[in-house]
Amino acid sequence: MEPSRLKLLAYHLKSLQISPYEDADALPVGQYADFHLAEFSSEVQHLEMKDEGSEDLKLSVSRGESQSFPYAIQLEAVGIFNASSLPHERQIPLVLVNGASMLYGALREVLLMLTQRCMHGPVMLPSVHFVQLEKDYLQSQAVQVESSH
């Protein structure tokens, strides 16, 4: 194991809302809510800052059509990262993918800790990956280069 060249300098919760649906059934002890029964979305925004990159990660969970998922959830976090030890062209892609993963992991723990004490039982965010963010970013950069010629 070696230290990452991407440094998480700080992260903060911007918003946190967990609302149990009153008509949801409590889960058996030790069981987590099933995310297959939820509508789940995330949004990642990269913000340029002087000397550091900042990332805003928004997560939204609701039960949509299903009556079985027990909570409406809105979480938002901001992380501040330093990737200056990386080549310039790798900094933003790494912040997008690895930075989002770091923030997502932090939000997973916050949500699990808080819902452990809620009436409908614990919720743990599902495993996800953010590789598409890098692909989308690199594609947008290629389009910008082509349009500037």
> Is 71 domain-assigned?
yes
Q: Report the CATH number that the domain containing residue 143 is assigned in CATH.
A: 3.10.420.10
> Is 73 domain-assigned?
yes
Per-residue pLDDT for 53 more than 70?
no
Q: Is 64 left (phi over 0), alpha (psi -120 to 50) or beta?
A: left
* Total structural domains within the chain: 1
Query: CB neighbours (10 Å) of residue 81?
Result: 26
> Is 97 domain-assigned?
yes
| Residue 101: predicted pLDDT | 93
> Is 2 domain-assigned?
no
> Is 56 domain-assigned?
yes
Per-residue pLDDT for 60 more than 70?
yes
Per-residue pLDDT for 59 more than 70?
yes
> Is 90 domain-assigned?
yes
Residue 114 half-sphere exposure toward CB, CA atoms < 13 A: 15
Domain that holds residue 66: 7-21+29-148
Per-residue pLDDT for 121 more than 70?
yes
| Residue 88: predicted pLDDT | 86
| Residue 149: predicted pLDDT | 60
> Is 57 domain-assigned?
yes
Is the separation of the CB atoms in 23 and 67 below 8 Å?
yes
> Is 85 domain-assigned?
yes
Report pLDDT digits (tens) over 82-102: 888 889 888 889 888 999 999
Cβ within 8 Å of residue 143, ≥6 positions away: none
* Spatial distance between the Cα atoms of 34 and 20, rounded to a whole number of angstroms: 14
